[in-house]
Amino acid sequence: MVTPTTATLKFKGASGKDYIYSLYLSDSAINAKWSTSGTAGATSSDSIITPEPIELRDVSIITGPTVVFNLVPFVNGIQQPQMINIAANISTIQTRAFPSLRINGSRKLELVQS
């Protein structure tokens, strides 16, 4: 990626609650940076701890990075088989394609840029 960009991920909890996270994607970090309050930036956390069982419902990425093409989820340090394709989730696309990603509660979730 040439310039940093941001993204928004929306999860639905088992309780029905929505969880919305801001991501910061950069050319100088391996992990996407997470924020639970406000816009994520270069100094934000590398991961979140899931508050309850959650399911990914939407991914919206601002503009298109040119070097990073996917976000690979890791749960408790274990790579998951799903990938989030950045090109398919640019915010201007109305029918974004995101993977089926379900994560149990109290798990560490990281997204590695690839």
Q: What is the CA radius of gyration of the chain?
A: 13
DSSP string, 29-75: -SBPEEESSS---TTSBS-EE-SSSEEEEEEEESS--SS--EEEEEE
End-to-end CA distance of the chain: 10
- What pLDDT, on a 0 to 100 scale, did the predictor assign at position 19? 97
Domain residues for the domain of 55 are: 5-113
Cα separation, 50 vs 30, whole angstroms:
20
CB 104 within 8 A of CB 54: no
Encode pLDDT of 29-70 as tens digits: 789 999 999 999 999 999 999 999 999 998 888 875 556 688
pLDDT band at 95 (very low <50, low <70, confident <90, very high): confident
Domains contained in the chain, number = 1
| Model confidence, pTM | 0.89
- What pLDDT, on a 0 to 100 scale, did the predictor assign at position 1? 41
Question: What is the percentage of the chain residues whose pLDDT exceeds 90?
Answer: 57
Encode pLDDT of 4-25 as tens digits: 888 999 999 999 999 999 999 8
CB 67 within 8 A of CB 98: no
CB 26 within 8 A of CB 20: no
